Structure 1
């Protein structure tokens, strides 16, 4: 059964990206996903797999602890969807070279996802790096 674009994105965000059940990454991600990322004004494309996305979520848990993840908006058009979210946790691990402080920390992000055959095949992500940096200072 192939899921709709909305069901695929919502399932991925609610189960995998949220940190609630990252082991389900293969249910929502293609074997190779092109991840277009903007980091400090620099653009890069990396290949993600379900396995390394599980590792990515583990890194977020190491930095933020058991974080809360809320989808603020989800818009879908054909094989693409836009999602905007807020992640709240505590600074319990090293983030961008900053030692843990234990303080509450919040990040805002958004992404456009492209779905093929009921799985995420590509995404374009932006995170509020300046907001995060201000909280780490």
Structure 2
């Protein structure tokens, strides 16, 4: 059975990217996924796979704790889906060299996912790195 683009991306975000079940990445991702990342103007393309992505989400859980992941918008057009989200957690692990403070932390991101045969094969992601850095460097009261 082949899932639709919407079913694939909604399932991936709700189960895997949300941190609820990162080990389920293999159910939504192709063995090789091109991940185009834009962070503070720097662009790079990585090859990701389900195991690598599972590790990536587990690292986020180490940094943010069990975070809340809210999808604000999901738009689908053929084999592509655009998603925008807010992630809320706490600074419980080292993030870019910043020691944990335990303070609440919120990040905003968006991505376009390309789906073939019910699996994500490519995505373009942007994260609000400046907003995260502002929170990490804010004085502790």
Please tell me the TM-score bracket, short chain as reference.
Answer: over 0.9
Q: CA deviation at 1:23?
A: 1.1
- Root-mean-square deviation (Å): 0.5
Q: Which sections of structure 2, spanning at least 5 residues, go unmatched? A: none
TM-score normalised to structure 2 length: 0.96
Q: CA deviation at 1:39?
A: 2.0
Query: Runs of 4 or more off by more than 4 Å in structure 1?
Result: none
Give 1:120's aligned residue: 120
Deviations 1:4-31 (A, max 9, x none): 0000000000000000011110100000
Q: CA deviation at 1:41?
A: 1.1
Q: Distance in 1 between matches of 2:96 and 2:40?
A: 12
Are 2:83 and 2:112, in contact at CA under 8 Å, matched by a contact in 1?
A: yes
Are 2:71 and 2:86, in contact at CA under 8 Å, matched by a contact in 1?
A: yes
Q: Distance in 2 between matches of 1:36 and 1:110?
A: 12
TM-score normalised to structure 1 length: 0.99
Q: Which sections of structure 1, spanning at least 5 residues, go unmatched? A: none
Give 2:34's aligned residue: 34
Are 2:82 and 2:113, in contact at CA under 8 Å, matched by a contact in 1?
A: yes
- Number of residue equivalences: 137
